Structure 1
């Protein structure tokens, strides 16, 4: 079973998916329309690339860089949170404890992943 499939069935997950860094392919499961999943994949890819670039710039200008390469990112909105690690995204309901469980699973499965899973 893929990581995004495992995430999609966890309590509090709205949808989960994976995307290609080329931006032309994605897979998802959950409560998103095909068009919303396509847009989510594009947004996650663009934000991931920006996050990597910013971490690289900070390290390039520092003799003692406090960062390893970026592994992912999280953004919280009023209704849900988006978590991304490697090329896997997860939309999570903002309920107590949900984000911690989801992020722990993503970290366990994806922390040592290459750019693509």
Structure 2
């Protein structure tokens, strides 16, 4: 990832080749120093993470406005568990804005089979 530093072991600062294994939940990974953007387990600690997500949210809103202009009414907004999202339909394949940690390699079993976190919205 372009903005991510080298993955490091938070207990000693040494570079780690593959970052944290998705099955490794040792205490050292819970330290605030573990803010590696390349690992979904720790990326939310890094301040840049929230800037990325704000930018992504803005692009999703741009996408919605473009659809409203050229395909009015084809994409419907709805709230899912308190999060603004869209109703499933022609242009929206995923009915939940948060697919969970298992789709990002953070769950105890790694990625869930058949779940791709990047298939949120169908491109027109």
TM-score w.r.t. length of structure 1:
0.34
Q: Which has the larger radius of gyration?
A: 2
User: Which protein has greater RCO, CA pairs closer than 8 Å, 6+ apart?
Assistant: 1
Structure number with the higher helix fraction is 1
TM-score w.r.t. length of structure 2:
0.32
